[in-house]
């Protein structure tokens, strides 16, 4: 299996790149943000509860997102591999992911972390907010909180994968195609 954690702060381009990578490498894309937004759209109890945290730019509880990912991994038992986008966002989630994959005799092949400076992130997210209508992309204070939460709670996940020798930094500034080609070069080296 080829299992990639596509990592980076909000606005780093994870979703865009994941869509391109899944086609090239025939992987299943698992985005916890997308799954949560579908839960909100269909007004499930889980979605309505998660929305409270998402509207503030805070993280949804580990227990909820771990359960969601586990269900998706189980539902895709024939997958050649997964691209994890927006997950894991805490070290507890990373540890849970290792355990889930171990049950399938699998592991994370690489954690590719996109680097983009904060001003560029804010610019990209405000632009995306105009097009996508995502509420959490339209408010500068919420965006800044998401970046703060990323630095405090999510960035330590880098250390977890670095200790496993799975971490690679990727420059996330440039054209979509340039960044895609950097990611492909990194993936082709680990295959
Ligand atoms: P995203 O689409 O990845 O930017 O996620 C949007 C929002 O969903 C985040 O700001 C969090 O509130 C929530 N979320 C997505 N993934 C996770 C996760 N792995 N852990 C906790 N909260 C998450």
pLDDT, one tens digit per residue, over 91-123 is: 999 999 999 999 999 999 999 999 999 999 999
pLDDT number for residue 7: 98
State the Cα–Cα distance between residues 73 and 70, nearest whole angstrom: 5
Q: How much distance in Å is there from the Cα of 31 to the middle of ligand 1?
A: 9
Q: How much distance in Å is there from the Cα of 86 to the middle of ligand 1?
A: 6
Mapping DSSP onto H, E and C, the string for 48-72 reads HHHHHHHHHCCCCCHHHHHHHHHHH
Check if 97 has its Cβ closer than 6 Å to any atom of ligand 1: no
14 catalytically annotated: yes
Tell me the mean pLDDT in the region 30-34. 97
Tell me the mean pLDDT in the region 54-77. 97
Atom of ligand 1 at shortest range from CA of 69:
19
Q: Whose CA is nearest to atom 6 of ligand 1?
A: 33
Q: Whose CA is nearest to atom 12 of ligand 1?
A: 54
124 catalytically annotated: no
Check if 32 has its Cβ closer than 6 Å to any atom of ligand 1: yes
Q: How much distance in Å is there from the Cα of 59 to the middle of ligand 1?
A: 6
State the Cα–Cα distance between residues 42 and 30, nearest whole angstrom: 18
Q: Which of 124, 128, 166, 182 is catalytic?
A: 128
Please name the residue that has the structure tokens 């993280």. Answer: 59
Q: Assess contact for 47 and 39: CB atoms under 8 A.
A: yes
Check if 11 has its Cβ closer than 6 Å to any atom of ligand 1: no
Please name the residue that has the structure tokens 């992911």. Answer: 97
pLDDT band at residue 133 under the 50/70/90 scheme: confident
């Amino acid at each position: 299996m080829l299992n990639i954690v596509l990592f980076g702060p909000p606005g780093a381009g994870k979703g865009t790149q994941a869509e391109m990578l899944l086609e090239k490498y025939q992987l299943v894309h698992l985005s916890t943000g997308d799954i949560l937004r579908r839960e909100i759209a269909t007004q499930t109890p889980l979605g309505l509860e998660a929305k409270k945290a998402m509207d503030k730019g805070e993280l949804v509880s580990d227990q909820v997102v771990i359960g969601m990912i586990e269900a998706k991994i189980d539902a895709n038992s024939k997958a050649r591999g997964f691209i994890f986008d927006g997950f894991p966002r805490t070290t507890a989630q990373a540890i849970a992911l290792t355990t889930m994959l171990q049950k399938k005799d699998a592991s994370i092949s690489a954690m590719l972390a996109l680097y983009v400076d904060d001003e560029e992130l804010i610019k990209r997210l405000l632009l995306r907010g105009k097009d996508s209508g995502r509420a959490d992309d339209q408010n500068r204070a919420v965006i800044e909180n998401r970046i703060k939460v990323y630095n405090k709670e999510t960035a330590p996940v880098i250390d977890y994968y670095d200790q496993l020798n799975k971490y690679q930094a990727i420059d996330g500034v440039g054209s979509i195609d340039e960044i895609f080609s950097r990611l492909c070069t990194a993936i082709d080296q680990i295959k």
